[in-house]
Chains A and B, each alone.
Chain A
C-alpha cells in the first residue's frame, strides 16, 4: 500500500499566548484532493506554513511519502516536492511570466541560454497539464485567473508533487473558478496530491476526496467526502447549526425611493466604457442585489454612487439633493446625506491599516461633534464608541487598541459594518461584504444586513457570490459589460435565469 503523501502527527505550535495548533494529526492520501476547512484563526494557515517550512512546530512529527522529515525552510519543502500557491500571489508585476517562473532558479550567470532551456521545459509541462500561460506576457497585464495558473505552473516547474492551495478561488470569477477546477482535476489524474484550503463549502464538496475540519487550532474530524454534506461541514466548523439560506415567509414592505440614479455613464482611463446608461432606484426597506461576473461595472457603480468618482453623464437624486457630473456627490457630502458605504476593498479603502482599531472605527465620521473636542479629536469618546461597536458586532478580539491590520478579515469587516450601520444610514451601499470571510461571520453579517433592511434602510448589495445575492436580495439587477441587462424580483430568480442575463454579452456576440 502506498504511504500517505503527508502524515501529520501531534503537531503543536504556539505564538505567545495563542495556541495556533494543538496536537494536530491526520493523513493526506497520495493522489487525493484533501480539503482543509475551518473558520478564520482555526489554525489552517499556520499548519500549512509548518508544512512549507515557514514555521517550526513546537512538537510533533511530519512524514512525507512515508519518510520522517524535518522541514527547516521553504527551499527544503520544495526539494521534498511540496509547492504552495498563496492567496496573495507572489509575483513580480514588471517581469514576464517566463521570468517570474525562472526567478530564483535562473541557473547560470547569463539569462538567454537558460531562458531557452526553461521555455522548452515549460512548454512540455504546459502541454502535459493543460495549464496554458502566455509565457512572454508581462504579469501586470494579465487577469487574476491567468496569474493563478502561472503560480501553479511555477510550483510544478519546481517539482511540486504535493500542492497546497490557499483560498485559490477567493479572487476568481465563476468562469475562472470552473477553469481552475478542470486544471486541478487534471493534475490529480497526473498523480499530484492537492491540499485545498477554502471557505467555500460547495467547492470542497465538488472537488475533494477527503476533508479535515479544524476549529480553534485542533482537528475536529477527518472523513472521506461521502460522509460530509455542506450542512454538516458548516456545523462542524462553527460548532453549532448554521443557517445561510433565505429565511422563509418573509414579507417585503418597501417605502419611498431613497436613491435614484439615472443614465449613469463612465469610461475607464483607456476609453473603454465602464458604465453605460445605468439607471437604478433604491427604496426604503429593500435589499437590491447587483449580480454579475466581476469586472462588469459593479465596482464602478459603487464608486459613482458613493461619491468616490464622478461619472461622465447621468444624474443622482439622494436625500432631497440632486447631483450632475459637473458637481457630483463627493465623499464628504455623502455621510451627512445619510449614505453609508461598505467598500469592496476593506484593506485599502475601508480601514487605515496602520491605525489602531479605535482610529479606524471613526473613519469617515471623524468630524462628528461627538468625536471632537474643538480642534482636537476626543480620544476617550472614540475608544468608547469602538468598544461598543466591538461588543455589538462581536468583533474579536475585543481590543480597541489592536492595530487594524491585526484583525482577521471577518472581524475587520464586522468593524466596518458596525461603523457604517452605527449612524443609522437611510441608504447603505455594500460591496462584497463576505469576501474571504468565514462562515460564522457570514451568517452574522447577513443577519445584520437583514435587520437593517427591516428597519427601513435601502440597501444596495454588490456581490460576486450568487448564493449571497439569492439569500439576501429582494430584487436583483444583473450587470454585464457596464449595462444593466435585466431586473428580476427575488421570486423570479433562479441560477439559470441569472446566469443567462450575466452572460448576455456572449449571447449577442454569438448571434
Chain B
C-alpha cells in the first residue's frame, strides 16, 4: 500500500504531460549531441519545418488527421476494456473500401454523392474488419490482442493480393491501382481556398481534417453522453456490474470494436481519397500503431487525442525537414525522438507524479 496520489486537475492534465514532454525532449537533445549535432539547431529546424510555413503546417495537420483517426479508434476500444492493436489492418481495409467504390462508381457519380459514399465505404470496411475479432472475443473467447494483430497481417496480405491480381491496371508494373476519377478525390484545402479566392501553398491537407474533428466530437458524445456509451464504459470498467445492470457485455464488445474499426478505416479517406488518389501498398505506414501512443498520451480523451496528434504530426513533418537539412541526421533519429516521447509521456506518464504530489503538498503546507 502506498499513499494515494491526489493531484489537482491542472497539474494532472496540464503540467505533468508538459513536464514529461520536456524530459523526453531533453533526453532526445542529449542523443542529438552525442551524434555531434546541436540540439538547438535540430529543434529549430524541426519547429520551423513543421510550423514555420503554411506549407509545413499543412503537412503537419495532414499527418495529425491520420493520427486523430487511429488514436480515437484505440480510445473507444480502451473504454470498452479492449486493446485494439489492429488499427493498422482496419485502416488498410478502409483504403481498400474507398478504392473499390471509387473505381466502381467514380466515373459515374458527382463528388457530392461520391465523397459521402467513400466515407461510408472506409468506415464500413474498417468496421467489418474489426467486427470479426470482436465476435471471436465476445462469443468464442479468442483474445482480441492476438486476433487483431493477426488481422493486421491478413489485411496487408489481402491488400497486396487485390493490388497484384485485380486492381493493377493491365500492363502496369507498379503495384498500385488505377487513378481515381476527380469526383472520388477528397478536395485538398488549398484547392478549396483557391475556389474561394485565397491562395495557399499546396499540401496534402484535405477535408478529412474536418471529418476527423467531427469524429472527435462524436466520440466524446458517444462515450460520455449517449446511452450506448454508458453501457460500453460500464462493461469496460466493471463487467460484472454491467451484467447485473442488464447490459449485455457481448453486444457492447461488438459495438465498441465496430466503432473503433470504423474510425481506423477513416484513415483510408485521408490517405487514399485525400492524397494518393489510388490504392498503394502499405499506405498506413505504422499510423495504426502510432494511434496507440496518441491515445495513451491523450488519456483516451478526444481533446487529449487532438493535442497528441498535433504533437506527432509536428514531429513527423519536422523530422522529415531535419533529415533533409542536417547532414548525417537520418530519419531514424526522428523515430528515436518519437520513441522517447512515447516512453516518457505514455509508458512512464505517472513516474513523476509522486514528485509533483510532494512539491504540491509542500507548497500548500507552507501557506
Which residues of A line the B interface, CB within 8 A? 16, 54-55, 86, 90, 306, 308, 330-335, 341, 343, 345, 348-355, 359, 363-364, 366-367, 372, 375-377, 379
CB of A363 within 8 A of CB of B240, answer no
**Max chain A Cβ within 10 angstroms of own Cβ: one of B225, B230, B234:** B230
Is there contact, CB below 8 Å, between A334 and B246? Answer: yes
A473 to chain B, nearest CB (A): 24
**What residue in chain A is nearest B237 (Cβ atoms)?**
A354
Report the Cα distance A86→B1, complex, angstroms.
10
Q: Considering only CB atoms, which chain B residue lies closest to A336 in the complex? A: B246
List chain A residues, Cβ under 8 A from B238.
348-349, 351-354
- CB of A364 within 8 A of CB of B1, answer no
CA distance A353 to B242 in the complex (A): 11
Asked whether, in the complex, the Cβ of B227 is within 8 Å of the Cβ of A54, the reply is no
Distance of A333 Cα from B3 Cα, bound (Å): 43
Contact A331:B246 (CB < 8 A) given known A353-B237, A376-B221: yes
Q: Are B226 and A349 in contact (CB under 8 A)?
A: no
Q: How far is the CB of B80 from chain A (nearest CB, A)?
A: 13
Decide: B230 and A364 in contact? CB cutoff 8 A: no
Q: Which of B1-56 contact A (CB under 8 A)?
A: 1-3, 6
| Cα of A355 to Cα of B235 in the assembled complex, Å | 12
Instruction: Pick from B1, B226, B244: contact of A377, CB below 8 A.
Output: B226
Q: How long is the Cα–Cα vector from A331 to B241 in the complex, in angstroms?
A: 11
A90 to B238, CA, bound (A): 22
For B242, the chain A residues whose CB sits under 8 A away are 352
Asked if residues A377 and B241 are in contact (CB atoms below 8 Å), the reply is: no
Q: With A331-B246, A376-B225, A377-B227 known to touch, is A349 a contact of B1 (CB < 8 Å)?
A: no
Report B339 CB to chain A, min CB distance, Å: 30
Whole-angstrom distance between the Cβ of B232 and the nearest chain A Cβ: 12
Count of interface residues, chain B, beta-carbon cutoff 8 Å: 24
A16 to B367, CA, bound (A): 13
Given the contacts A375-B228, A376-B226, A363 and B237 also touching, CB distance less than 8 Å: no
A214 vs B250: C-alpha distance in the bound complex, in angstroms?
48
Q: Determine if B245 is an interface residue (Cβ-Cβ < 8 Å).
A: yes
Query: Which residue of A is nearest B227, CB measured?
Result: A377
Q: How far in angstroms is the closest Cβ of chain B from A364?
A: 4
Q: Chain A interface mostly helix, strand, loop or mixed?
A: loop
Tell whether, in the assembled complex, residue A330 and residue B225 are in contact, meaning their CB atoms are under 8 Å apart: no
Which positions in B face A, CB cutoff 8 Å?
Answer: 1-3, 6, 221, 225-228, 230-231, 233-234, 237-238, 240-248
Assuming the contacts A353-B237, A375-B227, asked whether A363 and B245 have C-beta atoms less than 8 A apart, the reply is yes
Q: A366-B227, A366-B245 are in contact. List 6 more A-B contacts (CB 8 A).
A: A332-B246, A332-B247, A349-B244, A366-B230, A367-B227, A377-B227
Complex: A359 Cα to B225 Cα, angstroms? 11
| Distance between A56 CB and nearest chain B CB, rounded to angstroms | 10
Neighbouring B residues of A352 by C-beta, 8 Å: 233-234, 237-238, 241-242
Q: B221 to chain A: which residues have CB within 8 Å?
A: 376
A selection of 21 A-B contacts at a CB cut-off of 8 Å is A16-B6, A54-B2, A306-B244, A308-B244, A332-B246, A343-B244, A349-B238, A349-B241, A349-B244, A352-B234, A352-B237, A352-B241, A355-B237, A363-B241, A363-B244, A364-B245, A367-B227, A376-B227, A377-B225, A377-B226, A377-B227
For A16, list chain B residues within 8 Å (CB). Answer: 6
Q: Contacts of A351 on B, CB cut-off 8 Å?
A: 238, 241
Instruction: For B240, list chain A residues within 8 Å (CB).
Output: 345, 348-349
A341 with B244: CB separation less than 8 A: yes
Which chain B residues lie closer than 8 Å to A354 at the CB level? 233, 237-238
When chains A and B are docked, how far (Å) is the Cα of A331 from the Cα of B221?
27
Q: How far is B243's CA from A303's CA once the two chains are assembled, in angstroms?
A: 11
B241 surroundings in chain A (CB, below 8 A): 348-352, 363
A354–B237 CA distance with the chains assembled, in angstroms: 7
In angstroms, Cα B237 to Cα A349, docked, is: 11
Distance from A4 Cβ to chain B, minimum over Cβ atoms (Å): 26
**Closest CB of chain A to B12's CB: distance in Å?**
14
A197, chain B: closest CB distance, angstroms: 15
Least CB separation from A306: chain B residue:
B244
Q: Could you say which of B3, B234, B244 contacts A54, with CB atoms under 8 Å apart?
A: B3
CB distance from A147 to the nearest CB of B (A): 17
Q: B253 → chain A, closest Cβ, in Å? A: 16
**Cβ contacts under 8 Å, B230 to chain A:** 359, 366, 377
Q: How far apart sit A372 and B240, CA to CA, in the bound complex (Å)?
A: 23
Residue of A nearest to B235 (CB): A352
**Does B246 contact A335, Cβ atoms closer than 8 Å?**
yes
Inside 8 A of A372's CB, which chain B residues have their CB? 227
> What 3 pairs between A and B have smallest CB-CB spacing?
A332-B246, A364-B245, A354-B237
Q: Is the CB of B248 within 8 A of A332?
A: yes
- What is the bound-complex CA distance between A22 and B230, given in angstroms? 42
- Tell me how far the C-beta of A136 lies from the nearest C-beta in chain B, rounded to whole angstroms: 28
Cross-interface CB contact of A379 among B225, B228, B244, cutoff 8 Å? B225
B4 CB → nearest A CB, Å: 10
The distance from the CB of A162 to the nearest CB of chain B, in whole angstroms, is 18
- Give the residues in chain B near A367, CB-CB below 8 Å: 227, 246
A363 touches B234 (CB 8 A): yes
Chain B nearest CB from A201 CB (Å) reads 27
Q: A409 to nearest B CB, angstroms?
A: 16
A403 to chain B, nearest CB (A): 11
- Complex Cα spacing A363 to B243, Å: 10
Given A354-B238, A372-B227, A377-B226, are A331 and B3 neighbors across the interface (CB < 8 Å)? no
Residues of B within 8 A of A331 (CB): 243-246
- How far is A38 from B112 in the complex, measured between Cα atoms in Å? 71
Q: A55-B3, A376-B221 are in contact. Are A350 and B226 (CB under 8 A)?
A: no
Bound-complex Cα distance A354 to B243 (A): 16
- The smallest beta-carbon distance between B161 and chain A, in angstroms, is 39
Contacts of B243 in A (CB 8 A): 308, 331
Q: Which of chain B's residues has its CB closest to A15's CB?
A: B6
Q: Report yes or no: A366 in contact with B231, Cβ–Cβ below 8 A.
A: yes
Taken together as a complex, chains A and B put the C-alpha atoms of A359 and B247 apart, in Å, by: 14
Q: Chain B nearest CB: distance from A418 CB in Å?
A: 16
Q: In chain B, what residue has the closest Cβ to A354?
A: B237
A335 to B244, CA, bound (A): 10
Write out the residue numbers on chain B whose beta carbons fall within 8 Å of the beta carbon of A306.
244
Which of A55, A308, A331, A343 has the most CB atoms of chain B within a 10 A radius of its CB? A331
A90 contact set on B, CB distance < 8 A: 1
